[in-house]
Amino acid sequence: MVVIRHGVARLLGTAVRRIPALRRRLGPAPAAPQRVSMVLEDLGGSFIKFGQVLALQPDILPQRYCDAFFDLMDRVPGFDYAGVEKLFREELQQTPEEVFDSFDRMPIASASIAQVHVARRDGRKLAVKVQRPQARRDFGGDIQLMKWTVRAIRRLRLNRLDWLAMALDEFISWTGEELDFRGEARIMAQLADNSRDRKRERVPKVDWSLTTSRLLTAEFLEGTTLLQYMRSLDEGDEAVGLRLASSGFEPQRFAENLLENFLNDVFLHGVFHADLHPANLLILPDNTVGYVDFGISGVVSEYARYHLVATVMALARADLGKAADHLLAIAELESDSDSKRFRREFAELGEQWYRREPGGRGLENTKSYTEILLDTLRLCRRLRILPHPEAMRYMRSVITLDGLVGRFAPELDRDQALERQCADLLESAPAAAFISFDQWVDWVWAGAALMRDGPARLDRALDQLERRVSPGQDPERPRRGRARQSGARTLQLGTMAVVVAALAVLFGEPPRLGLNLFTAEVALVLGALVLLAREVLGWRPSRR
């Protein structure tokens, strides 16, 4: 009925606007992206949330649709206080007034799943996220409808609607996560702990005593949302900009901090905020970025981090073969996936991304990193070679973040800033942060095998060589065999010392005695020196 109503309104609006007097009175007709946004808003519930998810997927929809769907972020009507009080009684067996010293009945923000109220307790100002009373029931019904839609698209092989099936799949998975606030609270706590030493990143602290699956209570961050600032730019409202400028706000510096925080979260810790729309970002004093609403987050394994970093480095060197290798390593291949065709067409795309620098010294980019990512994701979607969901969230977050920064800080050279911060991150971060778990396993396994079998293999090789050179019986062989066994122990201990020294360097172990890698290294070196001294002092030239 909603779709029919909007369809009729569009047809009538087009006919009526042909009359000049009515066209002047009614104004221009809504563009197609705004019309679709209005349809989703009228459908309500999970359809609003689906529009929010689509706003973060510029690889699926044109950018103008993503921009229109951003309006769904904070323009959802709230529910009445009776529903809030009922949910409190069910979750905490108390009313909000009994739990808090004060509780504002009017929400400060409202979204498709929950709304946020301000409360105070023990002198602290808190943000209380309250789930809509019927959210699980409403979303459950809509999700079943979406699942049937996905099955129909795939069984009927409606390839032109395959993008919709993939988007619905992701929406179903994200919504399941968001309906349990305890998962969101855990991500908040993890991100707060990871960023405790960074001055330009603020994550609210969770109050676990007042957090359940349908309630989330956390520290309240005082600030202006980035969405408010961007709307003030669109509407020509200078008051917001002047107020922020008085607190030291600089759009370019804020954007650089936003990029730096994201890269640190992803590559150093593997956990990041994946819902980076402007309503979830707060402008705090000294260009500090405040983060709220962690319903959609990303977790990147060490394996995926390694291949993502390697992909970035390969693209920076215009090594398309290596970049394709690393992308395929984190892709989900299906029976009809064609990796050879992917490599070929990826290389053809690469010809559009680079050009020869003047003088022929090297290659330079003709497209931004995010444009390269968009081209890559579209190619992956067409050939059904899709990066693993954890890598997909990272890529989409980069694309969304780049588009967002371009809107409020267009003068910032985003590619240069991203390249500089990646270089700083690779230089300053411990090397171990960028080495995959699989590599560590391989290295440790190989090192253990070398320490266990290396000396014995060396001893056997020397024996075989000696037999070939002097096949007769040698009375000195037993003594030399014992000497080699002693030398083997020295080699074994020396190898262990080298491995431990490498680990100490990689993990940045400070030089102090105690239960740490540095002390273990000192002990191993001393042991190796003692054995070496014994070998040297015990050696005597044979007399003929």
- In this predicted model, what pLDDT tens digit does every residue of 436-469 receive, in sequence order? 444 444 444 444 444 444 454 445 555 555 555 5
Average pLDDT over residues 99-123: 93
361 pLDDT tier (thresholds 50, 70, 90) = low
- SS3 state at 31: coil
Q: What does the alpha-carbon distance between residue 364 and residue 361 come to, in Å, rounded to a whole number?
A: 10
pLDDT surpasses 90 at 102: yes
pLDDT in tens, 227-248: 899 889 888 888 898 999 988 9
Contact 126, 120 (CB under 8 A): yes
Amino acid in position 531:
L
**Which of 215-219, 508-512, 536-540 is most confident?**
215-219
Q: What does the alpha-carbon distance between residue 94 and residue 106 come to, in Å, rounded to a whole number?
A: 19
Contact 248, 286 (CB under 8 A): yes
User: Which pLDDT score, from 0 to 100, does residue 123 have?
Assistant: 94
Beta strand 201-202 pairing with 288-291: parallel
User: Which pLDDT score, from 0 to 100, does residue 504 have?
Assistant: 55
Choose between 110 and 174: higher pLDDT: 110
Q: What does the alpha-carbon distance between residue 115 and residue 131 come to, in Å, rounded to a whole number?
A: 7
User: Which pLDDT score, from 0 to 100, does residue 371 have?
Assistant: 82
Domain map of the chain by residue range?
2-72, 224-435, 443-538
The tokens describing 103, both together, are 């509780």
pTM over 0.75: no
% of the chain surpassing 70 pLDDT: 72
Q: What does the alpha-carbon distance between residue 188 and residue 194 come to, in Å, rounded to a whole number?
A: 10
**Which of 93-97, 171-175, 247-251 is most confident?**
93-97
Tell me the DSSP string of 208-263.
Answer: GGG--SSEEEEEPPP-EEHHHHHHHHHHT-HHHHHHHHHTT--HHHHHHHHHHHHH
186 pLDDT tier (thresholds 50, 70, 90) = very high
494 pLDDT tier (thresholds 50, 70, 90) = low
Q: What does the alpha-carbon distance between residue 258 and residue 42 come to, in Å, rounded to a whole number?
A: 33
* Least confident residue range of 243-252, 273-282, 328-337, 347-356: 328-337
Q: What does the alpha-carbon distance between residue 166 and residue 162 come to, in Å, rounded to a whole number?
A: 6
Contact 201, 288 (CB under 8 A): yes
Give the chain's mean pLDDT. 78
Helical residues (DSSP H) of 429-476, grouped into ranges: 437-469
